[in-house]
Amino acid sequence: MDLIAKLTKLLAKTDIILTEKQKQQLVDYVGLLNKWNKAYNLTSVRDPELMLVRHIMDSIVVNDHLKGYKFIDVGTGPGLPGVPLAIVRPDSHFVLLDSLGKRIRFLKQVQHELGLNNIEPVQARVEEYPVKDGFDGVISRAFASLNDMLSWCHHLPAEEGRFYALKGVVRDEELAGLPDGFEIESIIELKVPELNEQRHLVKLLKK
C-alpha cells in the first residue's frame, strides 16, 4: 500500500479532515524521517507505514484539544509531535526545541523541503531557553515525568497558557507528585487508529 493510501485509511477512522497537500506533507515528512534515520538514528521505528501510526497519527490526535496559536514542542527529537501538528495547524506557530544539533539539522531540512514557514527549530536546553511573551501551549511527548516537565518548563507558558503532556499510561503516583503551583485541568484518553496501546493527553495549568 502506498503511504498516501495508508494515511487516508487511518484518517478515515478519526474525525480529522486534511487537505491533499497536508496529507502529502505528512507522507513527505515520513520519507525524510526514514531517509535520515539511517545515518542519524532519529527514531527506533524503521517501517514508514508504522511511522504513520506511531508518529503521525499519534501526534495529530491531540490537535482538537489544543488552544491558541503559539506553541513550543519541548524535547521535540525529530519533530514529534511538533512537525505533524504544524502541518495540520498551518495558522499556528511552533518552536521546536531540542538540545541535540543533529536533530535540529534534520528539522531545518524538513522546514526547507516541506516549505513549513510555521516551524522554528531551536537548539537549546529547555531550562536555558529565554522567553519574552510566553506560549499558549507547552507540548511534550518526551519527558519522563510530569514533575520534570513542569519543573524545567515552568517559565514557558503565557499567563493563560497550558501544558500539554502526551503520555501512554498515566499513573496515580505521577499525578500526585506535581510540583506546587500547578494543577491538572483534564486528562483525555486518546484513540490512535491501529495502535493497541494506551494514550492520554494531560492538560495542566499554573495556579
Give the residue numbers of the binding site for S-adenosyl-L-methionine.
75, 80, 126-127, 141
Check if the beta carbon of residue 103 is closer than 8 Å to that of residue 78.
yes
CA dist list (Å): 7 to 10, 27, 64, 144: 5, 8, 18, 29
H-run or E-run covering 118: none
Using alpha carbons, select from 179, 181, 186 the residue that is nearest to residue 202: 186
Check if the beta carbon of residue 94 is closer than 8 Å to that of residue 164.
no
DSSP H stretches of helix in the chain: 3-11, 20-40, 48-51, 58-60, 82-88, 101-114, 146-153, 172-176
- Which parts are annotated binding residues? 75, 80, 126-127, 141
Strand locations in 91-198 (E): 93-98, 119-123, 135-140, 157-167, 182-190
Using alpha carbons, select from 121, 128, 119 the residue that is nearest to residue 98: 121
Q: Which residue has the cell 485509511?
A: 9
Helix (H, G, I), strand (E, B) or coil at 88: helix
C-beta atoms surrounding 76 within 10 Å: 27
